[in-house]
Structure 1
Amino acid sequence: MKTTKTAFGTTPENQTVSLFRLENASGAYVEIMDYGCRIMSICVPDKKGNLTDVALGLEDLDTYLKDDASLGAIVGRFANRIANGRFSLNGKDYQLAINNGPNHLHGGPTGYGQRVWDGRFSDNKLIFTRTSPAGEEGYPGTLNLTITYGWSEDNELSISYEATTDADTILNLTNHAYFNLNGHGSGTVLNHELRIDADSITELNKDQVPTGNYIPVDGTPFDFRELKEIGKDIEAENEQLKIGGTYDHNFVLNGTGLREAAVLQSKESGIRMTCFTDQPGLQLYSACYTLHQKGKGGIDYAPFSSVCLETQHFPNGINIDHFPSVVLKAGETFKSQTMYHFSVM
């Protein structure tokens, strides 16, 4: 594995930002920066053997500093939404920042995707570490975090999460990569085929927060149990689809432990991406608006030009007792793993 590190810029706080590259023997590679542990590029061969960059990214650090879409970022301390930014833990009430309608989203205005992490290579892995102090964005407990990226000779990107805390807190980590298997900036993903191993989704209220109810996918536009084009039912008459104007929902994955959760593929490029995770949920999101910042090469990322498959615990999980627990207790260690394996159909 070839590993390289190059300078990528300097933040307004005079923090140096670096870009790390993992390249396997075939020449396929990933590029990830220490600003937000962000995936900038994933270059894999298509059916003709041409390297194709399937991850949306931005041109330079100044553009990333303005990004409001968490492009490629590690998201936390709590990914996704918390209703009204409020939760109670051990009898104490907490009020977090409101940065998404009436909700707290993706850890707040300055979440983990807006922080510079410590990065290094070790044994052909890319390891990022950070201490998230108690009170950061209003969360209790000091967290010690490690995010490890791996890139295999057969084009599998692995993401391992590990965290410990000195006081009980809540935690929900994910990576917010945006994928287009025809190449970033190559038009719509609505003709991509998708399968998700989930029999239900978590119902959303009008503010896009889970109510606690589960909706079976059978007979709905959310039935991706067999391969289906993303755009096939996206304009169907459905109350859940109307809420966000697109797929932006948490799927309740079947099974437990590390297992295959989803398959995304494009007949045009011949690229298939298989997602494995040990998490209980997966957020399917396809942005239905033009992203505010121009992409690599000055490209406009148009509506429906990408799709996110964010492995996660359930949104608003701290406020719904029967959802999987999102509490990390003092002295315990949180560990999780997600992999995206790229192949040719």
Structure 2
Amino acid sequence: MNKLQLTTCLSFLFLAMLITENVFSQNPDQSKKSFITKKKIGQVQEQDVFEYTLQNKTGMQVQLITYGAAITNVITPDKDGKMSSVVLGFDSLSQFAGTDNSLMGSTVGRVANRISNKKFTIDGQEYTLSSDIHGGINGFDKRVWIAKEISKKNELAVEMTYLSKDGEEGFPGNLLVTVTFTLKNNDLVIDYKATTDKATPLVLTNHTYFNLSGGKSNKALDTELTVFADQYLEYGDGSLVTGKILNVKQTPFDFTTPKTIGKDIEKVQQYTNGYDVTFALRNQTSKLALAAKAFEPLSGRALEVYTTEPGVVFYSGNWLSEKVKGRNGVPYTKNGAFCLETQHYPNSINTPNFPNTVLRPKETFTSQTIYRFLVRNH
């Protein structure tokens, strides 16, 4: 190639780059790329805490932090293509690590939900816990996890690992837990895995608060909910289940067809200030199946929840308080968001007729939940 040919070739290449740059600037959607970023956001318990941002080619974003293995942000488009957050969160690590954090997006364990009287017995040995709820005073939501990026074809994933030592919060056994968060298309996939060296109860879940309006409403009461369950777990004072499984028909807990969260909420408020109920899902096969759907008319956003778990807890944000400021300094409001926590039943370790929650040595616990984000125009 002579000098004239080389100059001509370089000129065409430069022109092509200019044209490409102009196309992307005029059509920003075409320039979106999938990526993972990692940054240190501070320390808790003298341990570094990192934030991961996962973005797919459509611009959907998921943010995670290693404190509590928590989902801190999910940004999705509404029916007009406007991107905004659909989960509650905070602006700073100090808030996530503070006393005002109501398990925002956290991984909850070693046993999510409640264990009656803080006691249980396995193989004739009685154990006493530090608390009757959510894994103890310092459960998994208050621990710093070790994270690494996982390379998958056309998928973005972060794996978080925590070793819960024998005797922690009163639980037996060294329990190694891995939670993998994968952004696949518009699905947020959560895979749980655990092994132990002593028999121990195990109930894992994620406690993300959803508001699908994306900031258009500070309440979630007009969100339409469907739960694929014909039965729910009866509960009494303090939301502790009684052991009875009841039919949802002709009760405020009937979400077998789409119903707004607010329609019957006053009928259950005398018990728990709103919904805080475990549904026994139709799917009891341990295979992945649709558990619940939600639709927010204001934004057109829809959420589908798939799980291998036998139950889902529906919580209507009853104790969210305006005294607490969330992301961008905006105060929370009662019923300002809802949770759909896929899990085994509460207090199963003390309720023989509930599905087994004891993990034993040489066994491997696995579970999967998918949060799928969609848009509808009606």
TM class by shorter-chain length?
A: over 0.9
The alignment's TM-score, normalised by the length of structure 1, stands at 0.95
Query: 1:170-181 residue pairs with structure 2 within 5 A?
Result: 170-181=201-212
What's 2:53 paired with? 21
- Kindly indicate whether structure 1 or structure 2 has the higher relative contact order, using CA contacts under 8 Å at least 6 residues apart: 1
In structure 1, how many angstroms separate the alpha carbons of the residues matched to 2:56 and 2:213?
Answer: 21
In the alignment, which of 69, 87, 109 is matched to residue 137 of structure 2? Answer: 109
Deviation at 1:184, TM superposition (A): 4.9
Question: Structure 1 regions of 5+ residues with no counterpart?
Answer: 99-103
In the alignment, which of 21, 31, 48 is matched to residue 63 of structure 2? Answer: 31
Higher helix share: 2
What's 2:82 paired with? 50
In structure 1, how many angstroms separate the alpha carbons of the residues matched to 2:231 and 2:320?
Answer: 29
What's 2:173 paired with? 141
User: How has the CA–CA distance of structure 1 residues 167 and 189 changed in structure 2, closer, same or farther, with 3 Å as cutoff?
Assistant: same
In structure 2, how many angstroms separate the alpha carbons of the residues matched to 1:15 and 1:302?
Answer: 32
| Aligned 8 A contact 1:282 1:312 in 2 | yes
In structure 2, how many angstroms separate the alpha carbons of the residues matched to 1:22 and 1:259?
Answer: 25
1:281 and 2:314 correspond: no
1:325 counterpart SS class: coil
In structure 1, how many angstroms separate the alpha carbons of the residues matched to 2:116 and 2:88?
Answer: 29
Report the number of matched residues: 335
In the alignment, which of 180, 184, 193 is matched to residue 162 of structure 1? Answer: 193
In structure 2, how many angstroms separate the alpha carbons of the residues matched to 1:185 and 1:174?
Answer: 28
In structure 2, how many angstroms separate the alpha carbons of the residues matched to 1:274 and 1:156?
Answer: 9
| Aligned 8 A contact 2:216 2:298 in 1 | no
What's 1:232 paired with? 263
In structure 1, how many angstroms separate the alpha carbons of the residues matched to 2:336 and 2:320?
Answer: 9
Deviation at 1:148, TM superposition (A): 0.2
Provide, for residues 230-267 of structure 1, a one-character-per-residue CA deviation record: whole Å limited to 9, x for no partner. 0001112x5xx422111001000002221000001101
Backbone CA RMSD of aligned residues: 1.1
| Aligned 8 A contact 1:201 1:215 in 2 | yes
User: How has the CA–CA distance of structure 1 residues 113 and 184 changed in structure 2, closer, same or farther, with 3 Å as cutoff?
Assistant: farther
Deviation at 1:185, TM superposition (A): 7.8
In structure 1, how many angstroms separate the alpha carbons of the residues matched to 2:101 and 2:112?
Answer: 14
1:105 counterpart SS class: coil
User: How has the CA–CA distance of structure 1 residues 266 and 178 changed in structure 2, closer, same or farther, with 3 Å as cutoff?
Assistant: same
| Aligned 8 A contact 1:96 1:138 in 2 | yes
In structure 1, how many angstroms separate the alpha carbons of the residues matched to 2:330 and 2:70?
Answer: 19
1:118 and 2:180 correspond: no
Deviation at 1:186, TM superposition (A): 3.1
What's 1:249 paired with? 277
Q: Which moved more, 1:62-71 or 1:81-90?
A: 62-71
In structure 2, how many angstroms separate the alpha carbons of the residues matched to 1:140 and 1:331?
Answer: 15
Deviation at 1:334, TM superposition (A): 0.1
Q: Which amino acid aligns with 1:213?
A: K
Q: Alignment identity in percent?
A: 40
Runs of 4+ in 1 over 4 A off after TM superposition: none
Provide, for residues 246-300 of structure 1, a one-character-per-residue CA deviation record: whole Å limited to 9, x for no partner. 1001000002221000001101100000000000000000122334532111111
In structure 2, how many angstroms separate the alpha carbons of the residues matched to 1:162 and 1:150?
Answer: 14
User: How has the CA–CA distance of structure 1 residues 184 and 280 changed in structure 2, closer, same or farther, with 3 Å as cutoff?
Assistant: farther
1:186 counterpart SS class: coil
In structure 2, how many angstroms separate the alpha carbons of the residues matched to 1:145 and 1:243?
Answer: 34
In structure 2, how many angstroms separate the alpha carbons of the residues matched to 1:207 and 1:177?
Answer: 21
What's 1:92 paired with? 125
What's 1:195 paired with? 226
Q: Which has the larger radius of gyration?
A: 2
What's 2:19 paired with? none
In structure 1, how many angstroms separate the alpha carbons of the residues matched to 2:93 and 2:189?
Answer: 24
What's 2:4 paired with? none
| Aligned 8 A contact 2:95 2:101 in 1 | no
